[in-house]
Amino acid sequence: MISPLSTQRLFLCRRLAVAAIALTALSFTGPAFGQSDTRELMNRLQRLENEMQTISREVYRGNGGTPPAASASAPTGNVAAGFEVRLQRLESEMQTLTGRYEEAAFQVGQLREQLTKMQTDMDFRLSRLEQQSGGGLGAAAPAAAPAPEKGTAGKADKGAAASPAAEPETGGSLPSGSSQEQYNAAFNLLRQGDYANAEKGFAQFLKVHPSDTLAANAQYWMGESLYVRNKFKEAAVAFAEGYQKFPKSGKAPDSLLKLSLSLSAMKANDDACAALGELLGKYKDASATTRRRAEQEKNRLKCS
């Protein structure tokens, strides 16, 4: 029979493997997520892998050939309790690592969206120039026909028109499945730039799974879906609730940072500085990227 410790260890090993693959893929996505940020995540992943190997060796060494009577002894129970604490700490680290990867993936998605818009605009401008340089009606007429095929403007219009039609299908409702699958569905909407439906999806997730391990992340990304649409007041509320409800989560420092940015956009600089002070004073172990951005904002706002 597989022990609970072994089951939990195997689960963490699988998560480490998935994280390693995701981070490797992320390293090829361009400047949206810096090399130093990716290196930081990879270093943390390596430390987790090393500790998992250490725990694995100790667990196997403790289980190999141990008589039933000895397995019930107090020392073995203490060792098992120690393993449990270490595994819980590793799982917490993995949640933080997952949050950092999601942040990177979101930034990459935003960059892709910006590039697509730039390409669409450039294609449209080129088609206009081609028509104008024809020198007359006879030359301009043929140029007008291929313009929708050459550029992506026509495709973008079709995509924009398709989004409202897709909304009733999504409608903020979650697909059937586990909490992880429902969270992924909302997060995929966010990555695709469907921020309105992403907001609805995360809000519904929080109603159905208020105490889930992914609730803190869902709260943060709901705020992000509002922030990118310049809904700074609603975003500030979402980020503030995320910090108040989940102060010990890996997203708490990021929630304070985005709360500050939202308040700053609303010209509430004193409150923005207070949020930055809370972040820098309380979360010494926040990621280097988050603390660096907080320091930059503190200097920009001239916080005391």
Q: What are 244-272's pLDDT values in tens digits?
A: 999 999 999 999 999 999 999 999 999 99
Express as a percent the part of the chain with pLDDT over 90. 41
The mean pLDDT value for 125-154 works out to 43
The mean pLDDT value for 52-61 works out to 64
Q: Is the pTM of this model over 0.75?
A: no
pLDDT score at 262? 97
pLDDT band at 243 (very low <50, low <70, confident <90, very high): very high
The residues, any chain, with a CB within 8 Å of residue 219's CB and separated by 6 or more, are 202, 206, 238, 241, 242, 245, 246, 251, 255
pLDDT over 70 at 55, yes or no: no
Q: How far apart are CA 164 and CA 189, in angstroms?
A: 14
Of the two residues 133 and 260, the one the predictor is more confident about is 260
Cβ proximity of 239 and 258 under 8 Å: yes
The mean pLDDT value for 212-221 works out to 96
Ranges 23-37, 136-150, 238-252, most confident: 238-252
Q: CA dihedral in degrees (149, 153, 159, 161; nearest 10)?
A: -110
